[in-house]
Amino acid sequence: ISQVYKKALENKKIVFTTSEPIMINEGPFSFEIRHAPSLANKPLFTPPKKNAPPFDPFSPPEKDLIVEELHDYYVLLNKFPLVPEHALLVTKQFVSQNTPLIEPDLGNAMSVLKSLNSSTERWFCFYNCGANSGASQPHKHMQFLPIPDDFQTYFDHICHAYKTDSDGTWDHTRKPLSHPEIPYAHFLVPLSGTEDESELAMKFSQLLARVLTILRRAEAPISFNFAMTTEWMAMVPRTQEVYSDGDVSMSINTTGFMGFLLARTQQEVDYIKAVGPLSILKALAPAKVDEKEGEYDY
């Protein structure tokens, strides 16, 4: 990925947006605000041109952005990254972004993750599914970004606490885990790192069952944010894509729920600091439920 990225950047096939990372804390949790003032005049949504066929940047992908072909997928570089080497795993044939991940999606995503983690960096995979998830393209694509050094997400807190308090194995009869100090619905299943694609799909289905139950209760369409490292996978149900308050309007996808928030203006930076990231995220997801309830899951 590094070699293809460097060459594409030199040949101006990638449009890199400079940004400033700003670290803040809320309670025991770390968050990174990425301030990108050059995006201030870019609209959150670009309406399609009248009578124009829908544009699919992945069919076919730009040759200069292709890292490799992986079975029925391309590994690509993001053409407009905020973070260097932002990568994608894209289906070769069109598949809707509104569909859940299946065995080959998860197996190939984990292969890419393990390859990326062989460097000195730790990476995560994420997937935005559904109208309220913050997805930018209708063609199915998973994404990969590095996690900053020494950065611990609240999902890491959940996983580490579980592995400290147990032998590290996961019983499929257990309900997914949540953090008591996070105010919105979120679910995590630990990974051993040795799962095959069918085992990954089984754990994904555990998360999806909880999310579908929560969304059914909220009478909301199916939308969720999914994130995965080699240690865990997690999912957050979504009921709203855009956070709005007066002049502040932010479209948030999985990266926001991982603790990485994009601010296009200094006003947005100041707002996030003043209000707190958790209050913003809480407005975009259903409220946490009592896990003691014996409610049927899908």
What positions carry a catalytic annotation?
A: 141
SS3 of residue 248 by DSSP: strand
Strands (E) across the chain are located at 20-26, 29-35, 66-70, 73-77, 87-91, 122-129, 141-147, 187-190, 224-228, 232-237, 242-245, 248-251, 260-263
d(CA 25, CA 33): 10
- Residue-wise burial string across 198-215, b where 16 or more C-beta atoms lie within 10 A, e elsewhere: ebbbebbebbbbbbbbbb
What 8-state DSSP symbol labels residue 138?
S
